[in-house]
Amino acid sequence: MCHQLLVSEVISETADAVSLIFELTSYQEERFGYRPGQFLTLRLPTPDGQLARCYSLSSSPHTDNALKVTVKRVAGGRASNWICDHVTPGTVLDALEPAGIFTPRSLDDDVLLLAAGSGITPVMSIIKSLLTVGTGSIVLCYANRDEASVIFAEELRRLELAHPGRLTVRHWWESVSGTPTEDGIGELIAGDTFSEVFVCGPKPFMNLARRALRANGIDRSRIQIERFASLGGDPFDGAVAAGRHGHAGGTGSSRLDLDTGGQRRTIDWPSDTRLLDLLLAHGVDAPSSCGEGVCASCECRVVEGEVRMVNNQVLDEEDIAEGYVLACQALPATPSVHISLE
């Protein structure tokens, strides 16, 4: 469902990053409940036409009364630069309700957070939630060009001082240590144990971070990676309607064994129906957002059988080799397929 959100405040975080605070109506407050690490999809009326972009919430549902997203300029970024240059208090933006799966399974686990640049945005939401209502310990490794580029620098210092022994912040500044390396990241995380790991930042950083994690023996099942690519279509145009992708022209069907909510369901899967559309049509609470294969909100895992993806801009070869697919792009490729949403 699309809503019009009023920007009540714009905060300058660094020389090239701002936070937008949204004032919600009572009805919107009911609709915009969210989990730490989720994001909003905004529609922006730029000179190049309306653009839809996903921006992570840096606010926490456990500590903040208002919704906040934080946006950093990107070289040549039509959307991010428009926000930094033109959004002021009083601006009204179209927004979809919060979405995303980059969120902790438990707020009591020990977690490792790896972030670079604006990748700190969902990570900050997770940190504040874990410290406020959880019991586990947190290690944050945060990479930036230099000290002046650190978003939320003062807030991180305050939180670390207020929670000694629970929050440890380790900075990597390129001005001091050069571009992050796999070995360098490995040294930052060596010796620590974690239940979950969250990685968010530019793609090169996320790739080397994952290699460092695997080199340190951390299994992919414990790693959550937040990925965004520019949306090519308009997710505001029937984004939640089942069957919005049409048909691929296939015939026949496959047997789908689905693990969800601790239970196994068996569903007939027509060969021309994408998995996400099938799940929604059968009342399965499947996470989703863009519907285009660019945000990974609908990521799930193939346990047995095979599927083919119509479009994929976010999963890499290693993800696919380990069985991860995008539900919004997946069609059955074998007579039976076993999928896990857990």
pLDDT in tens, 246-293: 333 345 889 999 998 888 999 999 988 999 999 988 888 887 776 776
Which range has the top average pLDDT, 42-46, 136-140, 298-302? 136-140
Q: Which of 173, 194, 195 is nearest to 184 (CA)?
A: 173
Sheet holding 17-23, edge to edge: 49-56, 39-46, 92-99, 2-14, 17-23, 67-72
Least confident of 53-67, 92-106, 130-144: 92-106
138: Cβ–Cβ under 8 A, 6 or more apart, which residues? 110, 111, 112, 113, 127, 130, 131, 166, 167, 168
* pLDDT at residue 229 in the model: 59
Lowest-confidence segment of 34-48, 61-75, 238-252, 307-321 by average pLDDT: 238-252
* Number of residues in the chain: 342
Q: 317 or 17: which carries more pLDDT confidence?
A: 17
At 131 the pLDDT is: 97
How far is the C-alpha of 106 from the C-alpha of 7, rounded, in Å?
31
CA gap 37, 127 in Å, rounded: 9
pLDDT digits (tens, 9 = 90+) for 173-224: 999 999 999 999 999 888 778 899 999 999 899 989 989 998 888 888 889 8
Confidence of residue 239 (pLDDT cuts 50, 70, 90): very low
Residue reference for tokens 């571009």: 179
pLDDT given at position 190 = 83
Q: State the pLDDT at residue 314.
A: 79
Write down the pLDDT at residue 191. Answer: 78
* Region of poorest pLDDT, from 5-19, 143-157, 242-256, 324-338: 242-256
Q: What's the pLDDT band for 89 if we cut at 50, 70, 90?
A: very high
Q: Is 194 exposed, middle or buried (0-12, 13-18, 19+ CB in 10 A)?
A: buried
Percent of the chain with pLDDT over 70: 92
Mean pLDDT of 152-180: 96
What is the pLDDT at residue 241?
28
In whole numbers, what is the pLDDT of the chain averaged over residues?
A: 88
**Secondary structure letter of residue 57 according to DSSP:** B
**Two structure tokens written together for 134:** 């959880």
Q: What sections of 140-273 are H helices per DSSP?
A: 153-162, 174-177, 182-189, 203-215
pLDDT in tens, 312-321: 877 888 788 8
3-state secondary structure of 149: helix
Give the single-character DSSP code of 241.
Answer: -
pLDDT at residue 233, as a whole number: 58
* Euclidean distance between CA atoms 245 and 248, whole angstroms: 9
Pairing of strands 111-116, 138-144: parallel
Decide: 323 and 302 in contact? Cβ < 8 Å. yes
Give CA–CA dist 255/308, Å, rounded. Answer: 15
Asked if the model's pLDDT at residue 68 lies above 80, the reply is yes
Q: Which two tokens stand for residue 59?
A: 């606010």
Contacts of 72 (CB under 8 A, 6+ apart): 14, 16, 17, 80, 117, 118, 151
Contacts of 28 (CB under 8 A, 6+ apart): 3, 5
